[in-house]
Every structure is written in C-alpha cells, then in structure tokens.
Chains A and B, each alone.
Chain A
Amino acid sequence: MRRLTACVAVLMLALTLIPLGGCSDEGLDFGVRPENRARPVELVLLENGRPDPSVLAEEQVVRRGNGEEPSTLDPHRADGVPAAHILRDLFEGLTTISSSGQIVPGAALRWNISRDARTYTFYLRRDLSWSNGEPLNASDFVYSLRRALHPDTASASAAALLPIANAREVLAGELPIEDLGVALLDDEFTLQITLTGPTPYFLGLMASPVAYPVNRRNVEAFGELFSMPGNLVSNGAFTLNEWVPRTRIVLEKNPLYREARDTLIERVFYIPVEEASAEVNRFRVGELDWTSEVPSNQFAWLQKNYPDELVISPWTGSYFLGFNLTQEPFVDNPSLRMALILAIDREIITDKVTRFGERPSYSLVPPGIDGYVPFTPEYADWTQDERNHEARRLLEQAGYSDANPLHLEIRYNTSGNHKKIALAVASMWKQVLGVSTSLVNEEYRVFLQNRQQKIVTRVFRAGWISDYNDPYSFLELFRTGHRGNDYGYSNSTFDALLDEVGTERVRARRERLMFEAERVLMTDNVIIPIYSHVSKRLVNPHLRGWQPNVLDHHPTRFMYLLRSRGALSSASPSAVDAVSQAASVEAEAPPPPEGALPSPETAGPQADEVDDEDSSERIEQENGEGGS
C-alpha cells in the first residue's frame, strides 16, 4: 500500500516535470529581453544601389509568415493574398512591380497603348526562359490568358480579365477561345491585347497572378497537378521546391531568372500561420523573419516592445460602412445619411476602439495611392461638436424626432473587429442622435449573400482592399450595376466621369477626373468612411532591400539579410536553431553584385511609350464636361 502510493507520487512528479525536459540553464524570465535580439550591422550600399557583400549574412534564407494556406499555386485559379505573395515570387507577368510597388517592365520590356486605350501592345524581352530552360515568348502569354479564361479552368479570379475583348463570351462558352482579344503580332515577341473598353489599371492587372504565364507543356502533361513541387515550371525569381500543406512552402532561387544575378535570397520559406498571435510568437522565438500581419490586440504592446521590428505603412484599403440605397429609410434620403455620417467620431474609433494604427478616413480612396490626394469633405475640418450639431439638424430635417424615433440596424460578419466598430458607431448614434441601433452579426458567407442581395441589409460592414495602385479600382465599385456595388448606388454623372477616367491618358487630368468622381460619390453619402487600412507586420531588422508600399506587395527577390553585429558567421537571430526548419540549409555565399543590371526601378520610366501630345489635347476638350 505504502509502496503503491509512493509509486504514484513519483510518477506524478515525473509527469509534472515532462514539460521542462531539455531545459537549458537559463532561468525563466518574464521580462522582455530586447538585448538578446541580435542587431544587424550598418548597411553599406554600392554605387548600383545593391548592398556591399561584406555586410551580408552568410546564409540568405528568408522565412516569411504567410497567413492562411494558399488556395492553390496555379496562378490562374489562385485567389487570396497568401497565394499571391508566393506566386509573385514564382512567376512574372508582362509587367511586374518594383520594391516600392510601382508598375515596371516584367516579361515585356516595353509596351504601347493605343490612343483609345483599348489596345495594348507588349514587346517581350528576347532572352527569357522558363525555369526548366525552355524559351519563353509571347505565345506562352497567349496560351496562358486563354487558359485563364477557359470555361474548363473555372477560375474565379478570371473576372479581373473581363476587360479583355470577348472575354465574357469566351467564359460563357459562346465564342471559341481563339476569339479572345489576345494575339501575337508580327513575331513571337510581340503581343497585342485588345480590350472592350478603357481599363485604367490594366498594366497593374498584367502584373497580377491571373495574368501570369504558365508553361503549356507542363500544364498539359500534369493537368491540375502541374502546380505541385517537382511539376511546376515557372518564370519568376524562384522555383517551387517543396509544399507541405499548412506547414511550409519552400522556394529556391531560380538561376535562369532574368535578374538572377541580383537576387540575393537563396531560399524562401513561406510558413502558413492561420493564427496571427501564433505568427508573432514564432517571430519572437526567431522562427520567422516576417509576419503577414500582427494581431490587433497585441499592436500596442508590440509598438512598445518591438519598435524596430514593427513596420506600419499605408495600404490600399478602406474600411467603411455602406448604406443600402434601395431600401427605406435610405432611399432618396441624403440628409439622413449625412446625419449618420457626421455623428461618428472617427478619431475615437481608431484611437480608442480599434487601436491598431489605422488612420481615420473621411473619404473612399485611402491616401498614398499612386500620388492621388483623396477628396476631403468640408466636415473633415470641423470639430466633432460642430459635426454633431449639424447631424442633429439634418436628422430633424429628415423628419425624425423624439416623437418619431429612428431605429436602425448594422449588419456585419462575425469578427471581433467588426463588432467593436459596429458597437462604437451604434453608441455614437445613440448619444448624438438618439437613434437606437441593433447589431446583426452573421457568418461570413451568409453576410456576403445578404449584402449582395440588397434586401435585408440597411447599414452594413463594407470596405475594399485593392490589388491595384489606382484609385479607379475603388471608384469603379460604385458604378451602376457593378458587381461590387452592394449599395444600389447609381449616378450617371459619376458613371460618366469614370468613363472619362478610362480613356484619359494625362495623369493630372485623370487625377482631377477621379477626384471629381470621388467628390460626387461622397456628397451623395453612399458610405460612412471609418478608416484607411495600414499594413503592419514584424520584420527581422536584418532583412532589408524591401520597401513599404501601398500595395503591400513584397517580392522576395529585392530582399537580402544583413549580417549580425559582432557575428561574422551566424546568419539569423534564431533562438531555436535546433528545431528551426531552416536549420539544415547549407550556407552559400551570395553572388557578387558587381556589374549588376539596372534595377527595375531605374528601368521603369523609359518603358512607357505613350505619345503624350495627343492625349493632352483631349484633356483640354473634355475639361468643361468634367466639372459639371
């Protein structure tokens, strides 16, 4: 009996000790230990803008946290941000983006846009090859665009390619695939794409995954499995080496890439981490160099404790609430809508409610997109008291009072953030206007369906994050009948302005037209602007070469890792090398960057072969109409 209980006691003790197995002699420390995080050496650049080899870490392996598991690595069928990050490393479109997010020549060396903005002619580089060594030319792009739009491919992202002539008919199976407005011109290196109408962001579109080339022989040989490691042939800076679902995707440098000499990173790990806080944890123990985001509830803490690692920058995204203009009480009731817009104190929402570095917004287009300065309504300069005062006046004008109280609902999809914002908005309406608001939260897909049907919704969670560095991609959502128009908004002046934007070639004119369109939209009170998104992530300070940009696109090929201070050999500040997935990677010296080709940024400006004289004439002619 006594022995038995002794046995039990010993075993229990052993059990409690198991989690401590393999502990080092370090004690537990609940403080933050920034001094333990290695610091990189000072960056030294050569004349060509590339880093001096002496400051580089020996092992150029970057581990990027990547959010959710990518849907697929078939560029034509992929959707979602995580897949796009990986595909931008694997492939290159006719155009591509620079480290600062600008459109620069990719597979095409230069291009020509017709005066009516409906025909794009791309002149491809002549020395391109696939990662398997086969040459790559314009017919690969013809094949690929046709494949992306083929009914059998059933690509959801093909919707982006609808501006191409006959794309809709081809998708619907009404026209043969050969009728798609994509053709070889003169030789194997000239590609002409015809559009149904002007599409301002078309060059940006050509840099996105759905417009990437896929290798025909590869696709035909492996079918849907062509995007698996070992099968996938690509044309980007990296090739696919390994894919363990929801564990890691490993890319290796592609030596045949046209700028392989400037690509310093040898290997990229994309680690899907669904839980944002898990990503932060893995960053903190040194398993990741880069996180896809940071959880909002840790933002303040990280700001304080990881100031060097936390990177925040404007992003092409706006968060707003929408009005369903097709249902009472919002039909033809702009003063009611304005009252509701005014009564919200955006500063309080960003500073006290969401608190993760977003910026209060008074308009649709977020700041920082391609130099565009968004429209600012008059009330943006008022104090909140003034706004509240005006809001009450407008509400009364709309016919609501204590005797005839207004009851509203805000519908949103289940998420802590949406809920917090809806709660804040509802309480502001209550406080300022005495409007009672019920909150309706729905599961995401249910919410999407309701929002698109425009029947049960009144005020609803909306917002847009664009893939294009172009204000137009925000404005077009409000065109009459646009499939993103869940507001039921229709204004012919607005539509006409957007038509003009489509064909306008002179930047200043185009911006003015878009500004005017945004002004029309905002004075029609279709949305309640709340804030503009920022991208925020933790980045290993050793990792350089990338730049914050509004698109939040960060191709790995621009990146490199600096050496740690006082350490010549150690590559990264990994705390758990023994179990790190990257630990087995053999170190390899980076290629010497002397005589490097001009970087994409410098190549960009000389590429656009637009004859601007003609375009500017048109601007003068149409100026009068635009202002009306």
Chain B
Amino acid sequence: MRQEGLLQLAASRLIGLVPTLLVLITISFFLIRLAPGGPFDAEMAAPPEIRANLEAKYHLDEPLLAQYFRYLGEVIAFDFGPSFQYKDWTVNELIARGFPISATIGGLAMLLAFFAGVLIGVFAALRQNTASDYTVMGIAMLGISIPNFVVAPLLILVLAIYGGWLPASGWDWTWQRGLLPVVTLALPAIAYIARLTRGSMIEVLHSNYIRTARAKGLPERTVILRHALKPTLLPVISYMGPATAALITGSVVVERIYSIPGLGSYFVQGALNRDYTLVMGVVVFYGMIIILFNFIVDLLYAWLNPRIRYDEGE
C-alpha cells in the first residue's frame, strides 16, 4: 500500500506538470516576442531586404499565432530550433553542451553545500548559544551576505594569481578548473543550509519523541543520528529542490567570472540578443528542470515523511 501510494503520487504529479509547462511556454513565447527590440537590430539598422530574408529564414514573417503553434510542435518533438546568435549551433546542441557543465558544477556545489551545511548546522545546534555556535553561525551569515561577485574575484586573486595553485578561469573538465566555481556557488548555500539545519535541529531536539529516545537510554549519538537527523533534514530537503534546480541550471554571475560555458550565460546572452529560440529553449528546459526537481523533492519528502505518504496514498 505504501509503494502504491508513492507511485500514484508520482503519476498524478507528473500529469499535473503538463499544463504548468504549457503555461510557461506560452507566457515566455509571447513575452519575449513582445519585448521591444528584435534579434536583428544592430548599431546600424539592416536594410529591409536583409531583414526580410532573416525573418523569412527564422519564420518571423509568419503571423504570431502560427509561429506559436509551430513552436509548440517543435517543443513536443524536443527540437528547440537554431540559435539566432550562435548561428552554427542549434539550441539543442547548446543546451546539450552547456547543461552538463552547469549541472556538474551546480550538482557538486549542492552536494558540498548539503554536507557542509548540515554538518555545520548540526554542530551549531548541539552547541546552541555557545561561543562556537555563534562563531560558526556568524561565519555562515557572512557566507550568505557576501555576494558571489565579491567572493569569486577574491578566490581567483589569492589562489590563482598570487598563489598560482589553480587556473584563473575557464573550463576543461579538470578538478582544478571546477574547484573554485563549485566552492563559490556552494558558499551561500552552505550558509543557508547551516542556518536551516540549526534551526530545524533545535526544534526537533525539543520535541517529545527526542525526549522519549533519551529516556530509552540511547546514547546521544544514536539519538541525534537515528531520531533527530531525519526530521531535521525535512526543511533542508524542501529547500534543496528549488536550490538544486537553481544551481544546476547555471549561475550567470559565477559562469561569467570563471568563464564557464554553462547554461546560465546562454540564457542571459539569449535574452539580451533577443535570440528567441535560445531564450525559449533555455526557459523551457529550465522549466522542466525546476519542475522535475520540485517533483523529486516532493517524492523524497514523501518518502522521508511517512505521514504525507500515507495521506496521499489513501
């Protein structure tokens, strides 16, 4: 019955995603096209003949609704079309190349953030209101409040330029080039997860069932790890969904500073250049990723939290 509950939950959520995506596609399609300025504007206006050729090539000469349905058809076939700006590549190719990089950096950053954040948060919660608690959480606050564009150049300056231990930027799938971006991306998330974990852990430690566990004579480590950790992690897990989605879809700032060819900068470049297909492709792909991650988190949450699982399964 429990398994069925999970499966049913999964199926119903998945079906519910289709209209969400459709709305996303529709809104972004019309928004980007209604934005002033077009993909072929340049410092010097293109002659009308050339503009006409360009529009014909990318079907921009068709009525907007026809373009919309054409696009819907393409999306269903998972074809996001050619990029206006990066003319030698299709949007599919660009996503296929950019996303693994963003996903790797973002995924590793999230992993690092999760483990480091939970460790720090648990550490602080167990030493609640002591000097070490305040120190650790103070540092975590700094992590949240110092923006990436300050941390990254600092790391580069110290570790790459003056230290000479790491490359300054760029990407080639080596750990040396991945380290700084991962750490930079992870820092605010570590801080946030640490705070979340600390608060959650303190609350859980006050709960009656933890008192029961202690009354059973279980050693403190067992009480924390077996009884307190899982409920402590629930809010962390629900934060992780959108956060992971945000991280693996690419951070524009970090990708720019470290010259990483990830997905994040494509989105910005695409939007600035009115590269309709690229923006749409990235938006739809982002949408799918974010929805997917919220979905995964829902499932994970249900799996961790027997009460939800039960209620949904009924």
Shortest CB distance A435–B (Å) = 28
A46–B155 CA distance with the chains assembled, in angstroms? 46
A452 in the interface, Cβ–Cβ < 8 Å?
A: yes
Distance A19 CA – B153 CA, assembled complex (angstroms): 14
CB-based contact A172/B86 at 8 Å: no
Q: Are B56 and A151 in contact (CB under 8 A)?
A: yes
- Taking the closest CB of chain A, its distance from the CB of B262, in whole angstroms, is 9
Which residues of chain A have C-beta atoms less than 8 A from B246's C-beta? none
Chain B 138-165 residues near chain A, CB threshold 8 A: 153, 155-165
Q: Which 6 A-B pairs have the closest CB atoms?
A: A445-B37, A246-B261, A1-B220, A72-B87, A281-B168, A154-B57
Minimal beta-carbon separation of A112 from chain B (angstroms): 29
Residues A159 and B86 in contact, CB atoms below 8 Å apart: no
The verdict on A115 contacting chain B, using a C-beta distance below 8 Å, is: no
A151–B53 touching, CB < 8 Å: yes
A505 to chain B minimum Cβ distance, whole angstroms, is: 27
The reply to whether B57 and A159 contact each other, CB–CB distance below 8 Å, is no
Q: Is A455 an interface residue (CB 8 A)?
A: no
Q: A5-B127, A449-B37 are in contact. Are A26 and B164 (CB under 8 A)?
A: yes
A30 to B154 Cα, complex, angstroms? 11
Q: List 24 A-B contacts (CB under 8 A).
A: A12-B119, A15-B119, A19-B159, A19-B183, A21-B179, A22-B165, A22-B176, A23-B165, A28-B158, A28-B163, A71-B87, A152-B53, A273-B169, A278-B168, A281-B156, A281-B169, A282-B168, A284-B161, A287-B170, A452-B45, A484-B43, A484-B44, A576-B166, A579-B166
Q: Spot the interface stretch: A73-81, A331-339, A619-627.
A: A73-81
Contact with B along A442-462 (1 / 0, CB 8 A): 011111111010000000000
B205-245 contact mask (Cβ, 8 Å, vs A): 1 or 0: 00000000000000111001100000000000000000000
Asked if A274 meets B265 with Cβ closer than 8 Å, knowing A28-B163, A224-B88, A281-B160, the reply is yes
CB-CB under 8 A from A272, the residues of chain B are: 259
A621 to B175, CA, bound (A): 73
CB pair A576–B44 under 8 Å, yes or no, is no
Which residues does chain B contribute within 8 Å of A9, judged by CB atoms? Answer: 123
- Are the CB atoms of A247 and B172 closer together than 8 Å? yes
Contact B259 A275 (CB under 8 A): yes
> Taking CB as reference atom, which chain A residue is nearest B51?
A156
Instruction: Find the A residue at minimum CB distance from B82.
Output: A224
* Residue A35 interfacial (CB < 8 Å): no
Alpha-carbon separation in the docked complex, A464 to B42 (Å) = 12
Q: Does B126 contact A (CB under 8 A)?
A: yes
Residue of A nearest to B258 (CB): A278
Contacts of A285 in B (CB 8 A): 160-161, 164, 167-168
Say which residue of B89, B127, B176, B261 sits within 8 Å of A247 (CB atoms): B261
For the complex, give the distance between the alpha carbons of A447 and B273 in Å: 12
Closest Cβ–Cβ distance, residue B52 to chain A (whole Å):
7
- Residue from the set A11, A15, A273, A477 with the largest chain B CB neighbour count within 10 Å: A15
> Which residues in B have their C-beta under 8 angstroms from that of A281?
156-157, 160-161, 168-169
Q: Report if A501 contacts B (CB, 8 A).
A: no
**In the bound complex, how far is the Cα of B155 from the Cα of A318, in angstroms?**
37
B165: A residues at CB distance < 8 A: 20, 22-24
Q: Give the size category of A's interface with B.
A: 35 or more
| Interface contact A581-B258, CB-CB below 8 Å | no
Question: B272 touches which one: A28, A152, A444, A484 (CB < 8 A)?
Answer: A444
- Taking CB atoms, residues of chain B closer than 8 Å to A273 are 169-170, 259
B45 touches which one: A1, A11, A284, A483 (CB < 8 A)? A483
Q: Say whether A172 contacts B170, CB under 8 Å.
A: no
Tell me which of A1, A74, A277, A464 contacts B87 (CB under 8 A).
A74
Contacts of A448 in B (CB 8 A): 37, 41-43, 45
Q: Please, which residue of chain B has its CB at the minimum distance from the CB of A158?
A: B50
Query: In the complex, which residues of chain A have a beta carbon less than 8 angstroms from the beta carbon of B177?
Result: 579
Q: Provide the bound-state CA to CA distance between A549 and B273, in Å.
A: 30
Q: Mark A136-178, 1 if CB is under 8 A from B, else 0.
A: 0000000000000001111110110010000010011000000
Selected contact of A156 from candidates B40, B56, B136, B221, CB within 8 Å: B40
Identify the interface centre among B43, B116, B136, B176: most chain A CB within 10 Å of its CB.
Answer: B43
B153 adjacent to A277 (CB under 8 Å): yes
* Given A21-B179, A450-B36, A579-B167, 16 further pairs, Cβ under 8 A: A1-B220, A5-B126, A15-B116, A22-B176, A30-B162, A159-B50, A246-B261, A247-B170, A272-B259, A278-B257, A281-B157, A445-B41, A449-B37, A578-B176, A579-B172, A579-B174
Q: Is B9 engaged at the interface, CB distance under 8 Å to the other chain?
A: no
Nearest Cβ on chain A to B155's Cβ, whole angstroms: 7
A12 touches B43 (CB 8 A): no
- Chain B residues near A444 (CB-CB < 8 A): 37, 272
Which among B159, B221, B259 is the interface contact of A282 at CB below 8 angstroms?
A: B259
Question: Is the CB–CB distance between B37 and A159 below 8 Å?
Answer: no
* Most interface-central of B112, B123, B170, B258 (chain A CB within 10 A): B170
Given contacts A159-B46, A285-B168, contact A245 B86 (CB under 8 A): yes
- What is the minimal beta-carbon distance from A247 to any residue of chain B, in angstroms? 5
Q: What's the Cα separation between A277 and B153 when bound, in Å? A: 9
Does A511 interact with chain B (Cβ within 8 Å)? no
B-contact bits for A370-394, CB 8 A (1 contact / 0 none): 0000000000000000000000000
* Contact of B256 (CB < 8 Å), options: A30, A271, A275: A275
Closest to B223 in A: A1
Which positions 52-104 of chain B face chain A at CB distance < 8 Å? 52-54, 56-57, 82, 85-89, 94, 97-98
Decide if B314 is an interface residue (CB 8 Å cutoff): no
Q: Which residue of B lies closest to A463 (CB)?
A: B43
Check B170 against A12 for contact (C-beta < 8 Å): no
A168 to B53, CA, bound (A): 12
Which of A8, A74, A225, A245 is B123 in contact with, Cβ under 8 Å?
A8
Alpha-carbon distance between A244 and B98 when the two chains are bound, in angstroms? 11
Chain B residues with CB under 8 Å of A447's CB are 37
Whether A159 pairs with B126 at a CB distance below 8 angstroms is no
Encode contact with B along A557-587: 1 for CB under 8 Å, 0 otherwise. 0000000000000000001101111000000
Distance in angstroms from A627 CB to nearest chain B CB is 31
Q: Are A271 and B119 in contact (CB under 8 A)?
A: no
For B311, list chain A residues within 8 Å (CB): none
